[in-house]
Amino acid sequence: MKNTLSQSELNGLNQIDETMQMILSIGVSTDGNAEIAMSQIHPNCKIIATTIDKKGIEKTRKKIAELGLENRIELKLEDVSKPMPYADNTFDFVYARLVLHYLNKTELEKAMQELYRVLKPSGKLYTAVKSDKELTYKETAISYDETTKMTGIADPLANGKLRYRQFLNPASIKNT
Protein backbone atom coordinates (compact mmCIF):
# COMPACT_ATOMS: atom_id res chain seq x y z
CA MET A 1 0.00 0.00 0.00
CA LYS A 2 1.30 3.42 -0.95
CA ASN A 3 2.24 5.35 2.20
CA THR A 4 0.00 8.42 2.14
CA LEU A 5 -0.60 8.38 5.88
CA SER A 6 0.59 11.07 8.25
CA GLN A 7 2.87 10.31 11.18
CA SER A 8 -0.01 10.64 13.65
CA GLU A 9 -2.07 8.17 11.59
CA LEU A 10 0.86 5.73 11.54
CA ASN A 11 1.33 6.17 15.30
CA GLY A 12 -2.28 5.13 15.81
CA LEU A 13 -2.11 2.19 13.43
CA ASN A 14 1.02 0.94 15.20
CA GLN A 15 -1.02 0.59 18.41
CA ILE A 16 -3.26 -2.05 16.84
CA ASP A 17 -2.35 -5.71 17.15
CA GLU A 18 -3.83 -8.96 15.87
CA THR A 19 -5.84 -9.54 19.06
CA MET A 20 -7.96 -6.45 18.40
CA GLN A 21 -11.03 -7.66 16.55
CA MET A 22 -13.40 -4.69 17.05
CA ILE A 23 -12.20 -1.17 16.24
CA LEU A 24 -14.10 2.09 16.54
CA SER A 25 -12.72 4.98 14.49
CA ILE A 26 -14.17 8.35 15.46
CA GLY A 27 -14.17 10.99 12.73
CA VAL A 28 -13.40 9.08 9.53
CA SER A 29 -10.00 10.05 8.18
CA THR A 30 -9.63 11.83 4.85
CA ASP A 31 -11.10 9.47 2.25
CA GLY A 32 -11.00 6.71 4.88
CA ASN A 33 -7.27 6.19 4.32
CA ALA A 34 -6.49 5.26 7.93
CA GLU A 35 -9.45 2.90 8.17
CA ILE A 36 -8.53 1.28 4.86
CA ALA A 37 -4.96 0.80 6.09
CA MET A 38 -6.27 -0.72 9.35
CA SER A 39 -8.33 -3.25 7.42
CA GLN A 40 -5.46 -4.12 5.10
CA ILE A 41 -2.91 -4.51 7.89
CA HIS A 42 -5.37 -6.39 10.14
CA PRO A 43 -7.77 -8.21 7.78
CA ASN A 44 -9.55 -10.05 10.62
CA CYS A 45 -10.74 -6.94 12.42
CA LYS A 46 -14.11 -5.24 12.05
CA ILE A 47 -13.97 -1.44 11.87
CA ILE A 48 -16.85 0.88 12.59
CA ALA A 49 -15.93 4.36 11.37
CA THR A 50 -18.09 7.31 12.36
CA THR A 51 -18.38 10.91 11.23
CA ILE A 52 -20.81 13.82 11.21
CA ASP A 53 -19.77 14.74 7.65
CA LYS A 54 -22.61 13.61 5.37
CA LYS A 55 -20.82 14.64 2.20
CA GLY A 56 -17.49 13.09 3.19
CA ILE A 57 -19.01 9.79 4.22
CA GLU A 58 -20.45 9.20 0.73
CA LYS A 59 -17.08 9.81 -0.92
CA THR A 60 -15.44 7.46 1.57
CA ARG A 61 -18.20 4.86 1.13
CA LYS A 62 -17.53 4.77 -2.64
CA LYS A 63 -13.79 4.34 -2.12
CA ILE A 64 -14.30 1.52 0.38
CA ALA A 65 -16.71 -0.21 -2.00
CA GLU A 66 -14.24 0.13 -4.90
CA LEU A 67 -11.66 -1.66 -2.75
CA GLY A 68 -14.16 -4.36 -1.73
CA LEU A 69 -13.79 -3.54 1.97
CA GLU A 70 -17.41 -2.79 2.85
CA ASN A 71 -17.68 -6.08 4.77
CA ARG A 72 -14.78 -5.00 7.03
CA ILE A 73 -15.38 -1.23 7.34
CA GLU A 74 -18.82 -0.01 8.32
CA LEU A 75 -19.43 3.73 7.96
CA LYS A 76 -21.95 5.50 10.17
CA LEU A 77 -23.16 9.04 10.68
CA GLU A 78 -22.72 9.52 14.42
CA ASP A 79 -21.80 12.33 16.77
CA VAL A 80 -19.26 11.20 19.38
CA SER A 81 -20.59 13.74 21.87
CA LYS A 82 -24.00 12.00 21.90
CA PRO A 83 -24.84 8.59 23.40
CA MET A 84 -23.47 5.88 21.16
CA PRO A 85 -25.53 2.85 20.10
CA TYR A 86 -22.97 0.28 21.26
CA ALA A 87 -23.00 -1.97 24.28
CA ASP A 88 -20.53 -1.43 27.09
CA ASN A 89 -17.11 -3.04 26.49
CA THR A 90 -17.62 -3.55 22.73
CA PHE A 91 -14.35 -2.32 21.24
CA ASP A 92 -10.75 -3.50 21.59
CA PHE A 93 -9.41 -0.27 20.12
CA VAL A 94 -10.78 3.24 19.73
CA TYR A 95 -9.04 5.52 17.24
CA ALA A 96 -9.83 9.22 17.66
CA ARG A 97 -7.43 11.23 15.52
CA LEU A 98 -7.94 14.96 14.99
CA VAL A 99 -11.56 15.02 16.09
CA LEU A 100 -11.82 15.58 19.85
CA HIS A 101 -10.38 19.10 19.75
CA TYR A 102 -13.48 20.27 17.84
CA LEU A 103 -15.64 19.53 20.88
CA ASN A 104 -16.28 22.07 23.58
CA LYS A 105 -15.62 21.22 27.21
CA THR A 106 -19.06 19.69 27.88
CA GLU A 107 -19.12 17.74 24.60
CA LEU A 108 -15.60 16.42 25.22
CA GLU A 109 -16.56 15.19 28.69
CA LYS A 110 -19.59 13.35 27.26
CA ALA A 111 -17.53 11.94 24.38
CA MET A 112 -14.80 10.63 26.67
CA GLN A 113 -17.38 8.99 28.93
CA GLU A 114 -18.89 7.28 25.88
CA LEU A 115 -15.53 6.19 24.49
CA TYR A 116 -14.48 4.66 27.80
CA ARG A 117 -17.91 3.03 28.17
CA VAL A 118 -17.67 1.22 24.82
CA LEU A 119 -13.97 0.37 25.23
CA LYS A 120 -13.18 -3.03 26.70
CA PRO A 121 -11.29 -2.92 30.03
CA SER A 122 -8.20 -4.30 28.29
CA GLY A 123 -8.70 -2.08 25.23
CA LYS A 124 -6.65 0.86 24.00
CA LEU A 125 -7.72 4.40 23.20
CA TYR A 126 -5.60 6.34 20.71
CA THR A 127 -6.12 10.08 20.50
CA ALA A 128 -4.32 12.73 18.53
CA VAL A 129 -5.41 16.35 18.88
CA LYS A 130 -4.22 19.74 17.75
CA SER A 131 -2.47 21.77 20.40
CA ASP A 132 -1.54 25.41 20.71
CA LYS A 133 2.02 24.41 19.86
CA GLU A 134 0.78 23.69 16.34
CA LEU A 135 -0.54 27.17 15.59
CA THR A 136 1.21 28.34 12.46
CA TYR A 137 2.41 31.86 11.92
CA LYS A 138 -0.55 32.30 9.54
CA GLU A 139 -3.14 31.41 12.19
CA THR A 140 -4.23 33.92 14.77
CA ALA A 141 -6.22 33.22 17.91
CA ILE A 142 -9.08 35.74 17.89
CA SER A 143 -11.29 34.67 20.75
CA TYR A 144 -11.38 32.36 23.75
CA ASP A 145 -14.39 31.24 25.78
CA GLU A 146 -13.46 30.20 29.33
CA THR A 147 -16.72 28.26 29.81
CA THR A 148 -16.49 26.10 26.69
CA LYS A 149 -12.65 26.21 26.46
CA MET A 150 -13.01 26.91 22.72
CA THR A 151 -10.60 29.18 20.86
CA GLY A 152 -11.57 30.93 17.64
CA ILE A 153 -8.78 30.95 15.06
CA ALA A 154 -8.74 33.01 11.88
CA ASP A 155 -8.31 30.61 8.96
CA PRO A 156 -6.27 32.24 6.17
CA LEU A 157 -7.47 29.59 3.72
CA ALA A 158 -11.09 30.64 4.32
CA ASN A 159 -10.68 34.43 4.06
CA GLY A 160 -10.12 34.76 7.80
CA LYS A 161 -13.29 32.89 8.77
CA LEU A 162 -13.10 31.68 12.36
CA ARG A 163 -12.56 28.00 13.12
CA TYR A 164 -13.14 26.84 16.67
CA ARG A 165 -11.22 24.22 18.58
CA GLN A 166 -10.23 23.33 22.08
CA PHE A 167 -6.50 23.08 22.62
CA LEU A 168 -5.80 19.87 24.49
CA ASN A 169 -2.88 18.00 25.96
CA PRO A 170 -2.51 14.57 27.59
CA ALA A 171 -3.42 15.92 31.02
CA SER A 172 -6.57 17.68 29.83
CA ILE A 173 -7.79 14.55 28.07
CA LYS A 174 -6.92 12.31 31.02
CA ASN A 175 -8.77 14.64 33.40
CA THR A 176 -11.94 14.62 31.30
Q: What is the value of pTM for the model shown?
A: 0.83
Q: Is residue 114 part of a domain?
A: yes
Counting beta carbons within 10 angstroms of the beta carbon of residue 120, is it exposed (0 to 12), middle (13 to 18) or buried (19 or more)? middle
Select the more confidently predicted residue: 2 or 4: 4
Evaluated on CA atoms 86, 89, 94, 100, the torsion sign reads positive
Q: Is residue 74 part of a domain?
A: yes
Per DSSP, 157 falls in state G
Q: Is residue 172 part of a domain?
A: no
* The pLDDT of residue 1: 44
In this prediction, residues 126-143 reach a mean pLDDT of 68
pLDDT at 175 over 60: yes
Domain count, the chain: 1
Q: What is the CATH number of the domain that holds 30?
A: 3.40.50.150
Q: Is residue 79 part of a domain?
A: yes
Q: Is residue 153 part of a domain?
A: no
**Integer Rg of the chain from CA:** 16
In sequence order, which residues have a C-beta less than 8 Å from that of residue 56 and are 6 or more positions away?
Answer: 28
Q: Which domain holds residue 96?
A: 7-132
